[in-house]
Amino acid sequence: MTSPATLLVAPITVDAFDAALAKAHQALAGGASAVEFRVDRQVLAVAQVCALVAASPLPCIITCRHACETGGFDGPEAARVELYAALAAAPKPPLGLDVELAKWEEHRALWRKLAPHVAVPASPRAGRSQLILSSHDFTGRPVDLADRLARMLAEPLCSVPKLAWKAQGLEDCALALRLLAQSPRPAVALAMGEAGMPSRILAKKAGAFMTFAALDKESGTAPGQPLLAEMIGLYRWNDIKPATKVYGVVGCPVGHSMSPAIHNAGFAETGFDGVYVPMRIEEGYENFTRALEAWIQSKELDFGGASVTIPHKENLLRMVEEQGGEAEVLATLIGAANTLGVDASRRLSAANSDYRGLLLPVLAHLGRTESGRLDGLRAAVVGAGGAARAAVAAFAAAGAQVTVFNRSLERAQELAQDFGVLAMPLEALAQTSFDLLVNGTPLGMTPNVDTSPLADGHPALKPGVVVFDTVYNPLETKLLRQAKVAGCACIPGTEMFVLQAAAQFEGWTGQPAPLAVFRNVLGRKLGR
């Protein structure tokens, strides 16, 4: 028997009949497959709730959540039982009725009143409401999740067990998918909070009964709930299948990363069966390895790899090296990696695609893509942080004569020493000539848009010179305007972003990245 498709449910807090109904229509238009009417506040009479269910354009879950699990209902249990029994016995009953397991067990005798009306999992009858027994912990991960699931499943009337808890880390997503796989019936297992967000997106992959997505920022009913429009448009809900491979961006924070938009659009364009999610992991090597181990070992996740950003680039390299995986030579030299690959036999690889994002556009501008060499080219790299380090590695390896210019000379010297290049104080840049200039500092970045590493009219800026600003917000920085006026070739920071993402995409999918799509998505994100 095939499981019915996972419901994409928009929660609606019911304050007034008409407003709730209007939101249900909004949910239908937005691509939801069901709504959850939260009637905890009891502003409608029982007959009105029945009328709302009858009028709803989408199947409904009715939830009158008790205050013991952060709901708004604190009345006598008999009142809830009366409401649910009336709904279940109505000519058009709701699809689901949600009761907390704890309250069900406490008032089992009262709740038996539902028995004649609700579906019985052992002998389901079409058209009857399904009882959802739920358990919520907004403070952390209960130690007895598997036991709670077993207790729900042991209740003869429980059609859908539902577990929701606050994720302690990204590893809770793997746990949620495992619980879903363990349940003999379609269940709900959701890790709340930002780290748990993938469990909501991947619920469909694991054949969950339902997952939730908010109509708008105000309508969300639990932390970490994505928006309905994001679920459909960004995470491609309708394309997620059991075999869909999972990728993501690891960082802290990750909420504002543009990588999900780029990679998901790339998967859609190329027809690759993948989904790319935000993977928040708190700072620290322990947190990093614990979470990623859980994802890598998960049978349910089909985890294929990740983009890794601040503060975990060094952690990625260390983990892959410690586990005997394959670390790219240049990533080891740079001391940081931003791309994790996990192959079918769970072997790990770490690469640094940032240096490709710097090297490839320069080679293309100089017509040297084929040779890949920059011998004789005088490259000035400004900065000595992560971006500058990747630039020095890329251009030194390609044969350029690299000089590092940095505000703190000591840091420039350390970087220069690692790659056998020269180091100068930032002020020396004013008297220096170069064929390629790379800005690896935040100078020029919003909100300091009037700053630049160069003074106006710098003598080295002339036709034939390439100026690469790694800053991509704004799209055209002051440095690039100065370079343009002087007739230099200009490379914006978006090219680094697009080409480093392209290298990741190609490594994971084995297909060329759709660069035009990547550029479009990034341009839209940056408001071009």
* Binding-site ranges for ligand NAP (CB under 6 A): 357, 383-388, 406-408, 411, 426, 440-443, 445, 470-472, 493, 496-497, 500
Closer residue to ligand NAP, CB minimum distance, 431 or 448? 448
- State how far the alpha carbon of 381 is from the alpha carbons of 418, 423, 505, in Å: 14, 10, 27
Q: How far is the CB of 257 from ligand NAP (least distance, A)?
A: 11
Widest distance between CA atoms in the chain: 88
Catalytic annotation present for 525: no
Strand order in the sheet with 436-439: 422-425, 401-406, 378-382, 436-439, 466-469, 489-491
Cα dihedral angle (184, 186, 188, 191), rounded to 10 degrees? Answer: 70
Give the contacts of 231 (CB within 8 A, at least 6 positions apart): 8, 31, 201, 213, 237
Closer residue to ligand NAP, CB minimum distance, 72 or 335? 335
Closer residue to ligand NAP, CB minimum distance, 275 or 491? 491
Closer residue to ligand NAP, CB minimum distance, 128 or 411? 411
Closer residue to ligand NAP, CB minimum distance, 83 or 426? 426
Q: How far is CA 258 from the centre of its chain?
A: 10
What is the C-alpha to C-alpha distance for residues 187 and 183, in angstroms, rounded to an integer?
A: 7
What phi, psi does 511 have (nearest 5°)? -120, 150
How would you class 476 by CB atoms within 10 Å of its CB: exposed for 0-12, middle for 13-18, buried for 19 or more? middle
Q: How far is the CB of 425 from ligand NAP (least distance, A)?
A: 10
Q: Are 399 and 376 in contact (CB under 8 A)?
A: yes
Q: How far is the CB of 98 from ligand NAP (least distance, A)?
A: 44
- State how far the alpha carbon of 260 is from the alpha carbons of 231, 456, 499, 518, in Å: 12, 38, 15, 11
Q: How far is the CB of 169 from ligand NAP (least distance, A)?
A: 25
Q: How far is the CB of 277 from ligand NAP (least distance, A)?
A: 20
Q: How far is CA 527 from the centre of its chain?
A: 21
State which H helix or E strand residue 304 sits in: strand 303-308
Strand order in the sheet with 348-351: 274-280, 245-251, 303-308, 339-342, 348-351, 326-327
Closer residue to ligand NAP, CB minimum distance, 94 or 493? 493
CA 394, 396, 399, 401 torsion-angle sign: positive
What is the C-alpha to C-alpha distance for residues 437 and 238, in angstroms, rounded to an integer?
A: 45
Closer residue to ligand NAP, CB minimum distance, 224 or 386? 386
Give the contacts of 425 (CB within 8 A, at least 6 positions apart): 405, 406, 407, 409, 412
Q: Are 118 and 84 in contact (CB under 8 A)?
A: no
395: tokens are 């251009």
Report the residue closest to ligand NAP, judged by CB.
385
What is the C-alpha to C-alpha distance for residues 346 and 274, in angstroms, rounded to an integer?
A: 17
Catalytic residue among 204, 313, 462, 478: 313
Q: How far is the CB of 38 from ligand NAP (least distance, A)?
A: 42
Closer residue to ligand NAP, CB minimum distance, 472 or 508? 472
Q: Among all residues, which ones are annotated catalytic?
A: 313
